[in-house]
Structure 1
Amino acid sequence: MGRLTLALCVLLLLVLAPAARADEVTSFDGTRIVYNWFPADRLAPGAKAPTIFIGPGYSSGGDDASSDAVKQFRAAGYNVLTWDPRGFGQSGGTVQVDSPDFDARDMQALLDATAKRPEAQLDAPGDPRMGMSGGSYGGGIQFVTAAIDSRVDAIAPSIAWHSLITSLFKEDDLKSGWGAVLCSAGESRGLAEGILQPKPETGAQDPHIFRTCTQGLAQGRAFEEDKAWFAERGPGELIRRIRVPTLIMQGTVDTLFTLRESIENHALLRETKVPLKMMWFCGGHGVCNTGAGPANFVEDRVLAWMDRWVKRDAKVGTGPAFEWLADDAQWRSAAGFQLPRSGALRGTGSGTLPIAPGASSGGAIAATPAAPGSALEVAVEPAKAALDVLGEPKLKLTYRGTASPSATRVYAQLVDPSRRRVVGNQATPIPLTLDGQERTIERPLEAIAVRTAPGAVYTLQLVSSSSLYAPQRSAGSVAVSRAEIELPVVDPARAVVSAGERPDATVPGAAGGAKPKPQGRSCTSRRAITITLRRVPKRAKLRSVIVSVTGKKTVRLKGRRRVRVDLRGARAGRVTVRLVARTAGGKRYVDRRNYRTCVPKRR
């Protein structure tokens, strides 16, 4: 009798519990966006709960009920919404790569739909209490959504980007390894998943993506028009508009969206003084070979972040403002991300490096030590104690050489000989001009997180090519008369703590840690203008155009007289656009334009 009673009780709970449901919304431009709705576990009839949006990776549809993340949030008392981004899965439209003008407005439609759900807790009519989680493509969408819609309460983007130019086309060098992977996934998943669904949709790739995937990969570089399109796929300067608590997570072995992307985003958010935390973990778009640390450490931090800022439970601790996992699989922390240097490990050397077309080093998504005799190597001084090496190493090269074509690149990577691994699996392109003249170049390398053992020795390797990037196309050699490498040593106890990183941080302009009362949707500059370079003589052949918006360089273009400038996300007021054009003959032309954003339209 007892077992029968228990079985009936379980069945009754299943009947009364809100069921997961699939639904759809129509976005601003008529595009159909399909989503899944999962009410919180054990939610009583008539009760309401806050909601978490979980974003998927590139080419993927929304998570289903079997997802660990969905289960974790539902068990913690949250409704969960997942969705198929436009162009993927069952949703229609063209893939727009987390565009603030398309994908972020799809999120606004989903926010509207969430506000109508009977299980959704509201802060005001049409304003659901909600946070956002997810990685990669599902991380980028959080930045742009929070930037344009004040209804978002907290975000926890993981392994996202700041700029697709600095991440995909570093030093104008296409990441062909990851490019091949992403292009294949985007084409197959976007079409196949849509066709196989009950309500078929045949989402499409934008022509800019397709052209970069075909001609770009074949030629080793993208067209300037395509790069300009990717440059508009934020978040970039839109980060400055975010006014909600933000937990940034980035992978130390992520060779697609490297630690530099999180450093840029964190720097802009520090200025806004929002509650802010950053975590560097061993994972992301890459391979963790040094240990990932305790299970569920990052996931538990994300849940705590949502409990603190979405449920607004001030008793929940979110941990130190900066936590990182070094290559010894141990978590360390500091009160803030800005860690003053307490020293450095240095090395100097010289040598000659042959350069040959097609030569390759490493794997498509992870750098590996070069074969013996194929790299120019510089030994770094031994560590005298256990040290925290954290951040971007600095490289300075004085060199001379000849090659055809003369404009080429070499790749710098830091090797741990004791493990026979490249630190963080990272390689950094270093642009060279091999025209017989002596030149000097300085560059930061990709950031690393290392805990040295006493006596540990590291080696800088310069290789002529890396499979992470486009194949080498030059033939020749470079003689390096002096190579200087400097690894940053930091002291976590001396962290510089910003207002948003303090344990008592609150949302600016809000009481009790709540978000400010919405004043309607804040002004969002949607201006994307085209400027014609009129000062440059028509017969002059342009070599490059550098575009700066309010003092910050945004993009470098080649050979274009009409330049598209993206002002979206700029603060209300005056914006100065500066264009510096250089011709093939060496002449320089400077043009300045002033614009005003968020100016009411005349009636």
Structure 2
Amino acid sequence: MGNHRKALRTTTVGAVSATLIAGSVLGFAPTAQAASNDVRFVDITGDGGTVLKGNVVTPSGADGTRRYPLLVLPTSWGLPQVEYLAQAQKLADSGYVVVTYNVRGFWQSGGQIEVAGPPDIADASRVIDWALANTPSDARHIGMAGVSYGAGISLLAAAHDKRIKAVASLSGWADLIDSIYSQRTQHVQAGALLDGAGTLTGRPSPEVQQVFKDFFASNLAKEPDLIAWGRKRSPATYIDEFNKNGTALLLANAWGDTIFPPNQYVDFYEKLTGPKRLELRPGDHATAELTGLFGLPNDVWTDTERWMDHYLKGEDNGIDREQPVELKPRSSGGYEGYPDWKSVGATQRKIDLAGTTTIHANVDSGADGGVIFLSSILDQIAQVPPIASIPLLPRRYAAVWQSPRYAAAQHIRGTAKLHTTLTPTKESGTLVAYLYDVGPLGLGKLVSNAPYTWHGLTPGKPFGVDLELFSTAYDVPAGHRLAMVVDTVDPLYIEHNPSGAQLTFSSPAEDPSYVSVPLREQ
């Protein structure tokens, strides 16, 4: 397993390098256009005297006689400060002072990578202080926005700084632990990508280096420390502060985000009581926002500007009267609006997982969640998710249940849930559940998946498993069926099955096993 992880991380660093080269092109491409509009590159003193490299774009003709709403944009993980120049120019043209800055520890900014720790949150407030003192910005109308790392920092900053009235969090996280350590399972490709990009473009702090080391080593003794570390960096921890402040929060993410899956955003959204909007679209991490960073038309950035126009400028553009939950299904073109998340999958249809099935662990059956970025991008562009031949999956290593064929299309919306009884032969283990759309020839297209890990249980003693799959919006054509597949190995995750382990799934009469599928009401 150690050699496997080392190879994976080496491969991932190569992928990171290619991504960053593309990101640099992405970031620098709009520079020539923006530079003609008096972009200032500045040094901003952050927390503890750390120098943060930033740039400022002001509205054309600003002469200091009037004040403008301020938007602060922290950079994404591993990208330079020019990342947002195209959008900064557009926002400045519409009447904002825009300050973007490279977060500490990356590129030319000072300090070390803290993964949205207290110094990063303090930095955001220092950037606001600097902008109020050095630009024609209005202290009464301050917002923050960002993609990925910038999204998480923006949310955390708003929880700690009441001056921030509105946030657009794009492809960010609400719960860091639930994102990359869901159900006690390390999302190894996601972790390797973050670790590799941080090492390649920045200076991880000793604490961050130790966290990644413990994460990849599956150090259970350090698990409480890892969870505490992640909770401090999770906006969901500060839900009371958001609700007390009444911050207007726009949360946008992709169905196939392999860094920050949508479930944790949804749970956070449901607990908010202030102005809020949730948008979910096809794609992977930060791919839905990508064209907007080139200055091209983009739904995510359009709604970000509309959100800020209403909550910072006071414009009556109607965004507050629209349905607050906006979904774009993976398999159709139009948006769907809902009054709240519970209305998304209002109908539940159960598939019975009858009988008793035993599988052997430690072998990949051929059912898997794909490859980080690549698989969900293919799904976004060509509607080609990971595919498996369901009839050919080896039943020695994969448990398979199928529904009858559906006479009418099934519009899956929301979070499918697996409930089963499991009897393991070892005290620890991992299973991965997959929901497939199976066509007439038996080829299954991946609808959703999720991992589940346990430790310290009694071998041979059955226990209940309740697992939420990653939320999605997918249309199953008429004449197809759904299949639930469970195996024990997936390249996306670290598995914890000892050699020779077997898993037995049963469906006791007093507690039947099933998968509950959320469907849109017709």
User: What's the TM-score once normalised by structure 2's chain length?
Assistant: 0.78
- Secondary structure of the 2:82 match is coil
Distance 1:240 1:381, change over 3 A: farther
Q: CA deviation at 1:254?
A: 0.9
- The residue number in structure 1 matching 2:464 is 440
Q: CA deviation at 1:45?
A: 6.9
- Secondary structure of the 1:458 match is strand
Aligned with residue 309 of structure 1, among 308, 311, 318: 311
- Secondary structure of the 1:480 match is strand
Aligned counterparts of 2:184 and 2:429: Cα–Cα separation in 1: 11
User: What's the TM-score once normalised by structure 1's chain length?
Assistant: 0.68
- The residue number in structure 1 matching 2:361 is 355
Distance 1:401 1:388, change over 3 A: same
Q: Which of 451-460 and 388-397 deviates more?
A: 451-460
Kept in 2, the 8 Å contact 1:353–1:376? The answer is yes
- The residue number in structure 2 matching 1:376 is 399
Q: CA deviation at 1:217?
A: 1.7
Q: Which amino acid aligns with 2:432?
A: Y
1:178-218 per-position Cα deviation (integer Å, ceiling 9, x unaligned): 1111101001101xxxxxxxxxxxxx312232123335324
1:37-73 per-position Cα deviation (integer Å, ceiling 9, x unaligned): 11124546745422222232112232357x4322332
Aligned counterparts of 1:140 and 1:95: Cα–Cα separation in 2: 14
- The residue number in structure 1 matching 2:105 is 87
Q: Which of 413-422 and 37-46 deviates more?
A: 37-46
Does the alignment pair 1:170 with 2:194?
no
- The residue number in structure 1 matching 2:285 is 285
Q: CA deviation at 1:264?
A: 2.0
- The residue number in structure 2 matching 1:568 is none
Aligned counterparts of 1:456 and 1:347: Cα–Cα separation in 2: 17
Aligned with residue 121 of structure 2, among 101, 104, 109: 104
Aligned counterparts of 2:71 and 2:470: Cα–Cα separation in 1: 33
Aligned counterparts of 1:104 and 1:22: Cα–Cα separation in 2: 22
- The residue number in structure 1 matching 2:423 is 400
Distance 1:358 1:345, change over 3 A: closer
Q: Which amino acid aligns with 2:191?
A: G
1:406-443 per-position Cα deviation (integer Å, ceiling 9, x unaligned): 3101100111233743125x333254857122333222
Q: Which amino acid aligns with 2:434?
A: Q
Q: CA deviation at 1:20?
A: 0.8
1:566-589 per-position Cα deviation (integer Å, ceiling 9, x unaligned): xxxxxxxxxxxxxxxxxxxxxxxx
Kept in 2, the 8 Å contact 1:174–1:222? The answer is no
**What is the percentage of aligned positions where both structures have the same residue?**
21
- Secondary structure of the 1:338 match is helix
Distance 1:88 1:338, change over 3 A: same
Aligned with residue 131 of structure 2, among 97, 106, 114: 114
- The residue number in structure 2 matching 1:148 is 160
Kept in 1, the 8 Å contact 2:253–2:262? The answer is yes
Distance 1:160 1:315, change over 3 A: closer
Q: CA deviation at 1:312?
A: 0.8
Aligned with residue 484 of structure 2, among 440, 460, 482: 460
- Secondary structure of the 2:250 match is strand
Aligned counterparts of 1:298 and 1:327: Cα–Cα separation in 2: 16
Kept in 1, the 8 Å contact 2:428–2:497? The answer is no
- The residue number in structure 2 matching 1:230 is 230
Kept in 2, the 8 Å contact 1:321–1:337? The answer is no
Corresponding pairs, count: 448
Does the alignment pair 1:321 with 2:320?
no
Aligned with residue 74 of structure 2, among 38, 51, 55: 55
Aligned counterparts of 1:393 and 1:324: Cα–Cα separation in 2: 16
- The residue number in structure 2 matching 1:250 is 253
Does the alignment pair 1:187 with 2:206?
no
Kept in 1, the 8 Å contact 2:348–2:516? The answer is no
Aligned counterparts of 1:141 and 1:307: Cα–Cα separation in 2: 21
Aligned counterparts of 2:241 and 2:403: Cα–Cα separation in 1: 42
Kept in 1, the 8 Å contact 2:364–2:488? The answer is no
Q: CA deviation at 1:239?
A: 2.7
| Unaligned 5+ runs, structure 2 | 1-32, 289-295, 376-384, 508-512
Kept in 1, the 8 Å contact 2:323–2:337? The answer is yes
Aligned counterparts of 2:178 and 2:316: Cα–Cα separation in 1: 38
Distance 1:106 1:45, change over 3 A: closer
Q: CA deviation at 1:105?
A: 1.1
Does the alignment pair 1:428 with 2:451?
yes
Kept in 1, the 8 Å contact 2:266–2:341? The answer is no
Kept in 2, the 8 Å contact 1:132–1:154? The answer is yes
The residue correspondences of 1:375-524 to structure 2 (distance < 5 A) are 375-403=398-426, 406-418=427-439, 420-424=444-448, 426-431=449-454, 433=457, 435-475=459-499, 476-482=501-507, 483-491=513-521
CA RMSD of aligned residues (A): 3.0
Does the alignment pair 1:336 with 2:359?
no
The residue correspondences of 1:581-596 to structure 2 (distance < 5 A) are none
Does the alignment pair 1:68 with 2:98?
no
Distance 1:220 1:176, change over 3 A: farther
Higher relative contact order (CA 8 A, sep 6+): 2
- Secondary structure of the 1:260 match is helix
Kept in 1, the 8 Å contact 2:59–2:96? The answer is yes
1:143-173 per-position Cα deviation (integer Å, ceiling 9, x unaligned): 1111111211211101222222211211222
Aligned counterparts of 2:365 and 2:339: Cα–Cα separation in 1: 45
Aligned with residue 143 of structure 2, among 131, 145, 148: 131
Aligned with residue 264 of structure 1, among 264, 267, 283: 267
Does the alignment pair 1:276 with 2:276?
yes
Distance 1:327 1:295, change over 3 A: farther
- The residue number in structure 1 matching 2:351 is 346
- Secondary structure of the 1:153 match is strand
Aligned counterparts of 1:298 and 1:73: Cα–Cα separation in 2: 14
Aligned counterparts of 2:425 and 2:285: Cα–Cα separation in 1: 36
1:341-388 per-position Cα deviation (integer Å, ceiling 9, x unaligned): 234242424422110278884544259455721421111344443443
Kept in 1, the 8 Å contact 2:148–2:286? The answer is no
Kept in 2, the 8 Å contact 1:362–1:369? The answer is no
Q: Which amino acid aligns with 2:278?
A: M
